[in-house]
Amino acid sequence: MSLIHNMKKSEKYIPLVTMRKIAEKVRTNGSLSRFVAFAMFLTLVPVSHLQAQTEPGSAAASRTQELVDQLKELIRGAERDQRSSPLLTKQLRELVRRYDWPWKVALLHDDFRDGDYTYDPSWIVSNGDFRVVRGSGLRTVFDTTRQGRRLVDKRNENPAMDIFEGIFGARDREARSDLQTTSQSGAEIYTRLSITKAFAVKVQLKFRGNSDDDNRLEFGPYLNNERHLGYRLAYESGNRPSLSLLRIAPGRSAIIETYDRGLDLEDGNPHIIEWRRADDGEMVVLLDDKEIIRTVDRAHSDSFNGFNIVNKGGVYELKEISIFGTH
């Protein structure tokens, strides 16, 4: 305790080269006690000081990231060691998260302040209602109930077709088919963008609709020109609102991981969702800076070719969207 007290009082910082040597000793000896000591050293380095040294592209940034990568390896080893404390490794992961940022390349940033989503970056609307609202960002609206009623009403506008379909007994079947198709569709906007297989996405959004309705919003990177192939992060309302990581393909999707404990995005407040994917396929999702999902999926190992947002029910405002990649 005296060491910690004295260091805080004098505001001295541990040189990164010293921290690197300690990490090497921990990696070589595999000692849990040294591992804990190394973690304590990291906690003594103020975040603001470290960030000042680790500007993208700097030598300090490379050394710090190398150090963080070594610590991540040690954490994975500790998780496999039955003698290690799960609470300790969880705390160390939180510590690493404060310093770990391998996504140095800014691929996209849009806060929609220019009032135009069609230019720099260029977003393309394939279906539904998207508009920029001053001070609120990109607003998207999709009402599945209204869309269904619109199709039925349009069908009833043609009496001759009603008689024809009634004769062949196909009217009810087609109506049900159209309603089902409508309920599964949504408002979609996308941008063509080269995204590395390791990426970080940060979205600030606000829910503006009725929390009693069926609300669902999805976004994520897609492969090639197939916007139904890739990954998506999906929010869904209901009795137990959830955030789910999806691996999607034409006509089907698979849930990789879901979080549905005490989730409330419909409280009228803006929320920040971060989604990170590493080179090894590990994916982490944070909601308002709190980690809620950590999993691994290596199904897609190629770079992605775009990013899309699909509103399948609800009213949302996307204040800001940022995407980062690796070299």
Predicted model pTM: 0.68
Q: What pLDDT is attached to residue 75?
A: 83
Give pLDDT tens digits along the chain (327 positions).
333 333 333 333 344 544 455 455 444 444 455 555 555 555 545 444 444 333 445 566 667 777 787 888 888 888 888 887 888 888 887 777 777 788 989 999 999 999 999 999 999 999 999 999 999 999 999 987 765 434 333 334 454 544 444 544 444 444 333 333 333 489 999 999 999 999 999 999 999 866 667 799 999 999 998 899 999 999 998 788 999 999 999 988 999 999 999 888 888 899 999 999 999 999 999 999 999 999 999 999 999 999 999 999 999 999 999 999 998
Beta strand residue intervals within the chain, DSSP E:
105-110, 124-127, 129-133, 137-142, 187-195, 199-207, 216-223, 226-236, 242-249, 252-259, 271-277, 282-287, 290-296, 304-325
Q: How far apart are CA 319 and CA 302, in angstroms?
A: 29
Q: Is 7 exposed, middle or buried (0-12, 13-18, 19+ CB in 10 A)?
A: middle
Within 8 A by CB and 6+ apart from 70, the residues are 23, 24, 26, 27
* In the chain, ranges of CATH 2.60.120.200 domains: 106-142+187-325
Q: What pLDDT is attached to residue 13?
A: 39
Q: What pLDDT is attached to residue 72?
A: 80
Q: Running DSSP on this structure, what letter comes out for residue 280?
A: T
Q: What pLDDT is attached to residue 111?
A: 96
Q: Which two tokens stand for residue 316?
A: 């949302």
SS3 17: helix
Give 106-142+187-325's CATH code, choosing from 3.40.50.720, 2.60.120.200, 3.40.30.10, 1.10.10.10. Answer: 2.60.120.200
Q: Which two tokens stand for residue 16?
A: 């990164």
Q: What pLDDT is attached to residue 82?
A: 80
Q: Is 207 exposed, middle or buried (0-12, 13-18, 19+ CB in 10 A)?
A: buried
Q: Which two tokens stand for residue 184?
A: 């599964």
